[in-house]
Amino acid sequence: MKIVITDDHDIIREGLKKVLSGHEGITVAGEAASIAELEKLLESIDVDFVLLDISLPDKSGMDFVADIKKRYPDIKVLLFSIYPEEKFAKRVINMGADGYLSKSAKPHEIIEAINKINNGGKYLRTEVIEELFLRPSRLGGDISHDLLSNREFEVLRLIAKGNKLTEIAESLNLSINTIASYKSRILEKLKLKTTAELIRYAIDNNLIEKF
């Protein structure tokens, strides 16, 4: 199994390589620090599996999952992030990812996740499955941002991280008017009025990093 590790932090990539090394049948075929680098690797080498961080400097890993699955349907994708699993796991699975794992996971959990996905399954930690699907009431019922479409959710995060609408439009290959419409719908669905309130909402709900 040829794996590509995608993360913009050298120490994370080195740590993952150390975890994966020595496991029979697993080969780290390449590393990428951005989506642009990952795209070049996928075009130039045979890849079976991608370990993909959500937060990358040029584009969200979460937003790139659909592109991978469309262009390389046989490649398995495990998203990993500092973000709480209960905030993102269900959404990324719905977007086509084969699993989600927190960066706080223990080494044996990473290997377990890769093996399960490689054998045709989906991977979420048992505790996360119970919280999301078996005991949803413990999460306080419906969460407002769960009402957002995948694109709206991504625009929410990009705005909350300080990106201008023009920058978001360029990164997503959409018009500025389309992004402005997304923003209006997001504010309406979340019952917010200003960009400042949107940013505060994202921070309070652990949807972006706290700087």
- Mean pLDDT lowest among 38-47, 125-134, 146-155, 179-188: 125-134
> Domain limits of the chain?
2-136, 144-204
Sheet holding 27-32, edge to edge: 27-32, 2-6, 49-53, 76-81, 99-102
Tell me phi and psi for residue 104, to 5 degrees.
Answer: -85, 0
Considering the chain, what percentage of its residues have pLDDT values greater than 90?
A: 55
Considering the chain, what percentage of its residues have pLDDT values greater than 70?
A: 88
How does the average pLDDT of the chain come out, rounded?
Answer: 86
Q: Is the pLDDT of residue 104 over 90?
A: no
Amino acid at position 28, single letter: V
Tell me phi and psi for residue 21, to 5 degrees.
Answer: -65, 140
CATH number, domain 2-136, options 3.40.190.10, 1.50.10.150, 3.40.50.2300, 3.40.50.2000: 3.40.50.2300
- Cβ distance 168 to 195 under 8 Å? no
133 CB contacts (<8 Å, ≥6 apart)?
Answer: none
Residue found under tokens 């989906």: 122
The fold of the 144-204 domain, in CATH, is: Arc Repressor Mutant, subunit A (1.10.10)
Q: Do domains 2-136 and 144-204 have the same CATH topology?
A: no
Q: What is the dihedral of CA 73, 145, 141, 102, to 10 degrees?
A: 50
Residue found under tokens 């309406």: 188
Q: Is the pLDDT of residue 147 over 70?
A: yes
Q: What pTM value is reported for the model?
A: 0.75
3-state secondary structure of 50: strand
Predicted local confidence at residue 204, as pLDDT? 86
- Cβ distance 77 to 97 under 8 Å? yes
What's the first-to-final CA gap in the chain, in angstroms? Answer: 37
Q: Is the pLDDT of residue 211 over 50?
A: no
The predicted model gives 19-39 an average pLDDT of: 92
